[in-house]
Amino acid sequence: PSKTAIGLDMGISKLLTTSNGQYIKPKNSFKANQVKLAKLQRRLSRKVLFSQNWKKQNRKIQKLHSHIANIRHDYLHKITTRISKSHAMIACEDLKVANMSKSASGTVENKGRQVKAKSGLNRSILDQGWGMMVNMLEYKQQWRGGLLIKVNPRYTSQTCSECQHIAKENRQTQSKFECVKCDHKANADINAAKNILSAGHAVLSAEGGCSKGRPLKQKTSDLREKVA
């Protein structure tokens, strides 16, 4: 049985970045089949609605959608199983995926801003399957007597993991982190993952199992005292 703890930072270009410096690439099954899916949908639009040819073409589209979902599901199962088997405690951000992937189109009177860019970001978020991945980690940790802690994602990317100084200037670029106070330099995603792990330990040690402003964690197991 494992006795280690790990923090996970979820992202677009890298599905997961761990607090011990490892990266896991995304599968992007929808993106890989997007051109093929668009071609099938164009052919469907030229068919007579609800005709036999339309139904036949529609079945092809549904089959491809199932194929895309199965690839994503299988990939996330393999990743979450490996992580769950390796660590007694896993800390991740409590992300509201439904809110993050909302449309930016706005209304007729008030048009949304950067609609095309937001649409692409939404597709990427949903293609990653963040919500599904966290759910898998949660029940697999319960099966194995481990622990999954969801922490408040606020400031995890702007906080220095060394001196805990918070400033938006710390995040130089998407990948570069440099603390303006202590000059600590690190990869931004690894730094965030370390902050997530620290926040997980804080939630775990808080009396009653949760701290103010943070989501409730699941019940601890007998492994709680052994977590490193």
* Residues recognised as catalytic: 9, 93, 189
Residues 6+ away with beta carbon under 8 Å from 184 = 160, 161, 162, 163, 177, 178
- Residue 124, both tokens: 């990427």
The one-letter amino acid code at 143 reads W
Q: How many CA atoms lie within 13 A of 20 on its CB side?
A: 8
Contact 194, 164 (CB under 8 A): no
Nearest to 92 by CA among 128, 131, 61: 131
| Of 19, 75, 107, residue with least CA distance to 8 | 19
| Separation of alpha carbons 128 and 57, rounded Å | 27
CB distance 147 to 84 below 8 Å: no
Taking the C-alpha atoms of residue 134 and residue 74, their distance in angstroms, rounded to an integer, is 14
What count of residues does the chain have?
228
